[in-house]
Structure 1
Amino acid sequence: MTLAGASTGIALTQELSGLADEALAARCAWLYHVGELSQGEVASKLGVSRTRVNRLLQEARSDGRVSIRIDHDAARLSAVEQAITDSFKLDFCLTTPPIGLDDLDLSDPNQRAVQGRIARRAVGVAAARFFEAKLRHTPSLTVGVAWGRTCMEMAANLAGLRAPEARFVSLMGSFGRHGGASAFEVVQGLSARTGGQGFFLPVPFVADTPSDCRVLMAQSVVQETLGVAREADINIISVGELDEQALIRQLDMISATDLNALLGSGAVADTAGHFFDSDGRLVHDHPLDGRMVALPAAEVGRVPTVLLAAGGEKIAAIRALLLSGLVDAMIIDGDTATVLSASTLPDHTNH
């Protein structure tokens, strides 16, 4: 059964007010002329004023970008974004410019590592700009965060922003055997970059047994931190695929036996301590069931949640999370978005 999704009624916007006028005008033109949104709806979706939308549309018509077709790479990406948004009922999908990573052979570990690194950096930069705009608008945000390299890239690319009233809280246990991009490191990076407060669960990501997990979850410091997580205004999560090259295996957070059991149960994706099958359903009845120290998925889904998705090897995992009802918006690299759109949706790009 899919999750309910956010119940707060808050619509997430792309916050693109800092985008160059040329690219922003192309997005405005596509949404207005092709997507058939009103100027007010375009302004709301992109996070800019209606006056600016009106000016950009006039400029796009006067300089010839809008005629029978809209000629700009950003407009073509807008078609992919809108198709994904509509298909999965998101508040928005924001893509980075594609750079041809879809030509790489993802069965080759070296090529997979290269495309993953580039895709994560691109999404991290875009997510940082989105997040900076959110914090400037609401400096006292409480933000729930998961672990992962893409979330770390977002934290690393925050710049020139002070938000001492902001709170950053991990949605899951903060420690693994080998560190890596743990929830602790993500929270620490965000709080250090902004001067905000950091709250993390000072316990392992995976408990040894379900009974150990219950003991850890009952600790007062864990309950206090989970209480902060339940007060989040927005969650930012990433997605993990499930194979031997996945970070969760590379850092030995789960064993090969655990991985095979998850795959045997139909799991294709993980996020914030939860596993999902290809239809977006939570997967139970596996050796890790009851051992993940994390905020329950249903509680994560009550808060507007942005998915950071990077890398073509994660197509199946991304689709699963989009079907789960857990995600309200997505920031994704352009190459992966193009493949996701082509493999999942009708062709919306030939406008």
Structure 2
Amino acid sequence: MAAPATARQDEASLAVRAAWFHYVGGLKQSDVADKLGVTSIKAHRLIMRANQDGAVKFIIDGEISECVSLENRISERFGLDYCEVVPNVNDDDVPLGVLGVAGAKFLQREIHSGEHELIGLGHGRTLASCVTQLPKLDARKTQFVSLLGGLNKNFSANPHDVMHRLAEKTGADAFVMPVPFFANSKEDREILLSQRGVTDVMAMAALSKLKFVGIGAVDPTAQLVESGMIAPEEINDVVRANGVGELLGHFFDEKGQNVETNLTSRTVSVELADMEKSRIVAVGGGNSKARAIGSVLMSGLLKGLITDERTANALLTLD
């Protein structure tokens, strides 16, 4: 007698989860068995089934029922038109591996759709992981543009800038914003933005209908501080102003309200008004990012989110 439909769906879901653990998480079959609470033979069969079902390609093409449920709940709560939740395959604070795979899949699909002549991108560790996971492909019909300044305050290169690597992977034109993310003063910002090349790139950034971005936390260990974009005392000013999350250099409190600080007048990135006219999809997750992601979701600026199971569950418990 054939197994009930629900049982078959559960088995297929378990097979995809096993594939994530094995191929993306790098776990041995015995470790997969421990994670799933099954025998090693069962884990082997599940991984084989994922292969036979065509779920395992460059990236794993399949759905996990628990993740789908989280996607639906987050989309409904925060008014998103797109949400993807990937499984946690290890205990890393920031699951760069799985987020990178999912982000690469999203970006590849958007490029292949042919709907975008121009795609805007942020920078940061998670987006850099997405570009690293992206296969080489022909995207010469698409242009990419940076949405924010790509240099540190001392004009050194940002180690997590993605534009050059994206151009190498796709053969497409990628336009960088060759200025610091945060100028030293409001006056310096005006001078930087008055340069013709910078003005042109800023105009392109504003026009990009799809913006693919990361989300930053607001604390002394935030990536903005660690990468040298801003000084520790500057992020402390944002904390004192009740800032919780950061999106393209704009800061938000827990209710999603924009937070004005000294940094605001020095930020070299697309304006909030231009962001409101776009489809913004963010990728991010990790134990330290839930509140930050929640604050940006509350702003209503995001149309899409790619995150991990642990963060998704945390988002649904936020007040």
**TM-score bucket of the superposed structures, by smaller chain:** 0.7 to 0.9
Structure 2 CA distance for aligned equivalents of residues 282 and 197 of structure 1: 33
The aligned runs of 1:1-351 (5 Å cut-off) are 22-23=12-13, 74-99=64-89, 101=91, 114-116=92-94, 119-138=95-114, 141-176=117-152, 177=154, 179-182=157-160, 185-284=161-260, 286-341=261-316, 343-344=317-318
Q: Deviations over 1:319-338 (max 9, x none)?
A: 00101111000000122112
Deviation of the 1:150 alpha carbon = 0.6
Classify 1:22/1:135 alpha carbon distance in 2 versus 1 (closer, same or farther; 3 Å).
farther
Q: 1:72-117 deviations in whole A, cap 9, x for unaligned? A: 981121111111000000002101113363xxxxxxxxxxxx422x
Q: Shift in Å at residue 23 of structure 1?
A: 4.9
Structure 1 residues 181, 143: closer, same or farther in 2, change over 3 A? farther
- Give the whole-Å Cα distance in 1 for the aligned partners of 2:130 and 2:271: 24
- The offset of 1:196, in angstroms, is 0.6
* 251-260 or 312-321, which deviates more: 251-260
- TM-score w.r.t. the length of structure 1 is 0.70
Paired positions, count: 262
Unaligned runs of 5+ in 2: 1-10, 17-61
Q: Which has the higher contact order (CA 8 A, sep 6+)?
A: 1
Task: Work out whether residues 139 and 165 of structure 1, in 8 Å CA contact, stay in contact via their aligned partners in 2.
Answer: no
Distance 2:66 2:298 in 1: 24
> Aligned partners of 1:234, 1:23: CA distance in 2, in Å?
31
Q: Is the 8 A contact 2:255 2:298 kept in 1?
A: yes
State the 1:141 CA deviation.
3.1
> Which amino acid in structure 2 is aligned with residue 85 of structure 1?
S
Separation (CA, whole Å) in 2 of partners of 1:256 and 1:180? 17
User: Is contact 1:98–1:333 with CA below 8 Å preserved after alignment?
Assistant: yes
Query: Amino acid of the residue matched to residue 186 of structure 1?
Result: V
Report if aligned partners of 1:99, 1:334 keep a CA contact under 8 Å in 2: no
The one-letter amino acid of 1:94's match is E
Task: Indicate the SS of the match to 1:253.
Answer: coil
Q: SS in structure 2 opposite 1:330?
A: strand
Shift of 1:260: 1.4
Alpha carbons 2:88, 2:98 under 8 Å: kept:
no
Structure 2: how far apart are the matches of 1:96 and 1:76? Answer: 10
SS in structure 1 at match of 2:302: coil
CA RMSD of aligned residues (A): 2.3
- 1:100 touches 1:335 (CA, 8 Å); kept in 2? no
**3-state secondary structure, aligned to 1:245:** coil
Q: Deviation per CA, 1:207-254, whole angstroms, max 9, x where unpaired?
A: 111011111112111110012112213100101101121111112321
Runs of 4+ in 1 over 3 A off after TM superposition: 21-24, 177-182
| 2:8 aligned partner | none
> Which deviations, in whole Å up to 9, do the C-alpha atoms of 1:293-323 show, x marking residues without a partner?
1110220221111010121201110000101
How far off is 1:132 after superposition?
A: 0.8
1:306 is paired with a residue whose SS is strand
Conserved 8 A contact 2:209-2:277:
no
Matched AA of 1:209: S
Aligned to 1:349: none
Aligned partners of 1:265 and 1:140: how far apart in 2? 37
Extract unaligned runs of 5+ from structure 1: 1-20, 27-71, 102-113, 346-351
Measured after TM superposition, the shift of residue 289 of structure 1 is 2.4
In structure 2, what is the Cα distance between the partners aligned to 1:276 and 1:265?
Answer: 10
| CA distance 1:186–1:334, change in 2 (3 Å) | same
